[in-house]
Amino acid sequence: MKGLYMFHEIDPQKFTYDPDRKSPEAHDAVIFSKDRSILLGSGEGELAIPRYSDAQGLLQGKPGGFIYLFSLGETAYFLSLEQVGETRSYQYRNVYSVRNAQPSQQAFVCATAFHLAHWYANNRYCGQCAGPFEHKENERALSCPRCGVVKYPRISPVIIVGIIDGENLLLTKYAGREYTNHALVSGFVEPGEALEGAIAREVMEEVGLEVTNVRYYKSQPWAFSQSILMGFFADLSGGRNVTLDTKELSEAVWFPRPEIPVEESRLSLTWDMIAAFRTGAV
């Protein structure tokens, strides 16, 4: 049911990768990507990714060329190497706008396909010798035939921290972003930094606090920033007065458990964590 599951929770469907898949069959799906958008139709209010049988018409005689991305259940998903225009049935939609769409499995597929399409589009040439990359046959990777470099998709680690002071949780809001709902302290892990170090650094940088008793909660793939999100709860150590980094945040406020805002969806790890604290699950 909508709103009850995190974005990536697609059971009982199975998300798999089979490097032996080389070309699409009629029932398989084809991803057409442009900028930060995916070509989608709408069938009875649900996302509709073109099937390979439909993609032939969209290509209008272009030779095509496809990269196998992954499979969901019995359907394989391929990325088209050719761009196509919009039609009455299919239009490009910003990938971020589809994250609440139904069915939720298709929203997850669109985001994950975008993650890979964005990576392929930005890695056409080897950064060491400038030779053109080729697709590896036995794994999801690119290789340079000239110098032998192998490149894998980028996944950036991000920590999210729910800072607890007794029966209170610190909620933040971003500065200068379109997203205006509440959030938690978060940030990318730096090279050479342990997760615990990233937590302590981000908490100090963004809100000027110290934490202790850090415990892992759960994780979530977040294709919109090519990231893997890792959620933690931590207890406040020392004073609770916030020193706000105004470049990153517009506010940071302690909310008593009964007064924590309710979000209709557990789509993101952030709101799953907030709901878990509000309901006493943590």
Tens digits of per-residue pLDDT, 60-83? Answer: 877 778 999 999 989 999 999 988
Give the Cα-Cα-Cα angle 165, 171, 173 (nearest 5 degrees): 155
Q: What tokens does 167 get?
A: 């029966």
Q: What tokens does 216 get?
A: 């892992």
Q: What tokens does 246 get?
A: 């105004």
Tell me the CATH number at 256: 3.90.79.10
pLDDT for the residue numbered 1 = 38
178-189 per-position pLDDT tens digit: 777 899 999 999
- CA 160 to centroid of chain Cα atoms: 14
Domain that holds residue 248: 156-278
pLDDT for the residue numbered 36 = 87
Bridge partners of residue 24, in order along the sequence: none
Q: Which of 88-92, 104-108, 114-118, 160-164 has the lowest mean pLDDT?
A: 104-108
Cα–Cα distance measured from residue 50 to residue 47, given in angstroms and rounded to the nearest whole number: 10
Q: How many domains does the chain have?
A: 3
Q: Is it the case that residue 46 has pLDDT exceeding 70?
A: no
Give yes or no: residues 110 and 167 share one domain.
Answer: no
Give yes or no: residues 70 and 99 share one domain.
Answer: yes
Confidence of residue 200 (pLDDT cuts 50, 70, 90): very high
Give yes or no: residues 138 and 230 share one domain.
Answer: no
Give the Cα-Cα-Cα angle 260, 5, 218 (nearest 5 degrees): 75
Q: Which long-range contacts (CB under 8 A, 24 or more apart) does 144-147 make?
A: none
SS3 of residue 224 by DSSP? helix
8 within domain boundaries: no
The conformational region for residue 60 under phi > 0 = left, psi -120 to 50 = alpha, else beta, is: left
Confidence of residue 265 (pLDDT cuts 50, 70, 90): low
pLDDT for the residue numbered 194 = 97
Give yes or no: residues 177 and 249 share one domain.
Answer: yes
Q: Is it the case that residue 207 has pLDDT exceeding 70?
A: yes
Give yes or no: residues 110 and 201 share one domain.
Answer: no
With a pLDDT cut of 70, the percent of the chain lying above it is 95
Give yes or no: residues 182 and 138 share one domain.
Answer: no
Q: Is it the case that residue 264 has pLDDT exceeding 80?
A: no
Of 225 and 205, which is predicted with more confidence?
205
Q: Is it the case that residue 100 has pLDDT exceeding 90?
A: no
List CB contacts of 185: < 8 A, sequence separation 6 or more: 160, 161, 163, 170, 172, 202, 203, 206, 207, 252
For residue 185, the surrounding DSSP H or E stretch is strand 185-188
Give yes or no: residues 194 and 253 share one domain.
Answer: yes
Average pLDDT in the chain:
90
Give yes or no: residues 98 and 212 share one domain.
Answer: no
List CB contacts of 271: < 8 A, sequence separation 6 or more: 263, 265
